[in-house]
């Protein structure tokens, strides 16, 4: 048993890319404790204001962050771009300086622009505020807490990710989930296979340690788990990325027939929201090989651990499971 007690200043979580494998293991170990031993959950954030600042819509991430903060005793304040002074033209920089002046403990931000959480952190630091910034998804850049809850879910079924094969299939070009998962899975030793239309699977991800496989059946037949990704129609501009929806589903979708080709213990993940009948068949999404609901459940625990870490709560990383 090893017990690690780290003390540091409040810390931002801007992406998985800058975390070490040890950082990731510590967050996952703490999330497991918070999930499985409710007696370990204390109001360690009592009186701490936690702001959720969402410039893009969300169901899972926003609710689970607010639930996580409340379980830790924090007070939560939700701001949507549509009901804030952003509609009057206020910049993210000025929004950050304004919120920082009210001295929150943590600001959780979702934004369509890659790098927005970093800019917010710099704005807050510019007024001498030590609040932590947590990235809840920035454009197609990163969605670190999604990757953490996905890893928690994978490790509930697989003892280790070392040497395991994880497939990520779909609209990878627009996916911050794919990028954060790729960073995390590689850091924990997994092999990552990417599949989808050529127009939606950028070769630029190969230098990050992924392998692109053009025939998704080759991924499905070998992967320990497959993550199906939503086609992000709202981020697409210009000519269609594929000939038709039916063509997409036939070639890249996880149909019931295709799912039957998975190895016996393999399972299906999806970060949500799902385009049922496009990238995943409803029968598969709700079937016995799907862990989608489990992913959502794990989101609360993973985000509790992230908030404890952000606030430098004593002993957040203590664990015998590192
Ligand atoms: N997976 C995810 O980020 O879902 P939401 O957009 O509902 O938060």
The chain-wide mean pLDDT, for the chain, equals 92
Q: Which residues, including other chains, have CB under 8 Å from residue 239's CB and lie 6 or more apart? A: none
For ligand 1, the distance from its centroid to the CA atom of residue 271, given in whole angstroms, is 7
For ligand 1, the distance from its centroid to the CA atom of residue 59, given in whole angstroms, is 6
For ligand 1, the distance from its centroid to the CA atom of residue 273, given in whole angstroms, is 6
Q: Is the pLDDT of residue 143 over 60?
A: yes
DSSP string covering 79-140: EEGGGSGGGGT--HHHHHHHHHTT--SEEEEEESSTTHHHHHHHHHHHTT---EEEEEEETT
45 DSSP assignment: T
Summarised one tens digit per residue, pLDDT across range 63-94 is 999 999 999 999 999 999 888 898 899 999 99
The reported pLDDT for the residue numbered 1 is 32
* Ligand 1, residues at Cβ distance < 6 Å: 58-61, 137, 146, 271-273
Percent pLDDT > 70 in the chain is 94
52, 53, 61, 295: residue to mutate for ligand 1 pocket, most atoms within 8 A of CB: 61
pTM confidence score: 0.94
Distance CA 10, CA 105 (A): 9
Q: Which of 174, 211, 206, 176 is nearest to 195 (CA)?
A: 211
Percent pLDDT > 90 in the chain is 83
Q: In what order do the strands lie in the sheet with 165-169?
A: 210-212, 191-195, 165-169, 225-228, 267-269
318 confidence band (pLDDT: 50, 70, 90): low
8 confidence band (pLDDT: 50, 70, 90): very low
239 DSSP assignment: S
53, 54, 57, 60: residue to mutate for ligand 1 pocket, most atoms within 8 A of CB: 60
Q: Set out the domains of the chain in order of their start, with CATH numbers.
A: 21-142+299-315 (3.40.50.1370), 144-296 (3.40.50.1370)
Q: Is the pLDDT of residue 112 over 90?
A: yes
Ligand 1: atom nearest CA of 57 is 6
Ligand 1: atom nearest CA of 62 is 8
Q: Which residues, including other chains, have CB under 8 Å from residue 49's CB and lie 6 or more apart? A: 74, 75, 76, 77, 102, 103, 104, 105
Summarised one tens digit per residue, pLDDT across range 234-292 is 777 777 777 788 999 999 999 999 999 999 999 999 999 999 999 999 999 999 999 99
For ligand 1, the distance from its centroid to the CA atom of residue 143, given in whole angstroms, is 9
For ligand 1, the distance from its centroid to the CA atom of residue 137, given in whole angstroms, is 9
For ligand 1, the distance from its centroid to the CA atom of residue 282, given in whole angstroms, is 18
42 confidence band (pLDDT: 50, 70, 90): confident
Burial string for 131-147 (b: 16+ CB within 10 Å, else e) reads: bbbbbbbbbbbbbbbbb
């Amino acid at each position: 048993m090893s017990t690690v007690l780290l003390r540091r200043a409040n810390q931002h979580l801007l992406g998985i890319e800058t975390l070490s494998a040890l950082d990731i293991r510590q967050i996952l170990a703490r999330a497991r404790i918070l999930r499985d031993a409710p007696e370990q959950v204390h109001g360690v954030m009592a009186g701490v204001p936690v702001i959720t600042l969402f410039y893009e819509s969300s169901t899972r991430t926003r609710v689970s962050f607010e639930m996580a903060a409340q379980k830790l005793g924090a007070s939560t304040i939700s701001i949507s771009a549509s009901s804030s002074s952003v509609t009057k033209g206020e910049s993210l920089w000025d929004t950050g300086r304004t919120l920082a002046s009210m001295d929150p403990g943590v600001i959780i931000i979702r934004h369509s622009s890659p790098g927005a959480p970093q800019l917010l952190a710099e704005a807050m630091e510019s007024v001498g505020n030590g609040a932590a910034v947590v990235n809840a998804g920035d454009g197609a850049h990163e969605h670190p807490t999604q990757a953490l809850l996905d890893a928690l879910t994978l490790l509930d079924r697989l003892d280790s990710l070392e040497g395991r094969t994880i497939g990520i299939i779909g609209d990878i070009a627009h996916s911050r989930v794919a990028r954060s998962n790729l960073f995390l899975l590689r850091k924990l030793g997994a092999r990552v296979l990417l599949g989808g239309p050529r127009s939606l699977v950028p070769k630029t991800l190969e230098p990050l340690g992924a392998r692109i496989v053009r025939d998704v059946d080759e991924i499905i037949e070998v992967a320990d788990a497959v993550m199906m990704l939503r086609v992000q129609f709202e981020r697409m501009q210009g000519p269609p990325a594929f000939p038709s929806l039916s063509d997409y589903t036939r070639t890249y979708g996880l149909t019931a027939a295709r799912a039957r080709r998975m190895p016996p213990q393999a399972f299906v993940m999806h970060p949500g929201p799902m385009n049922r009948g496009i990238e995943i068949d409803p029968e598969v999404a709700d079937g016995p090989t799907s862990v989608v609901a489990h992913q959502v459940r794990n989101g609360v625990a993973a985000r509790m651990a992230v908030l404890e870490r952000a606030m430098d709560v004593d002993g957040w990383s203590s664990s015998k499971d590192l």
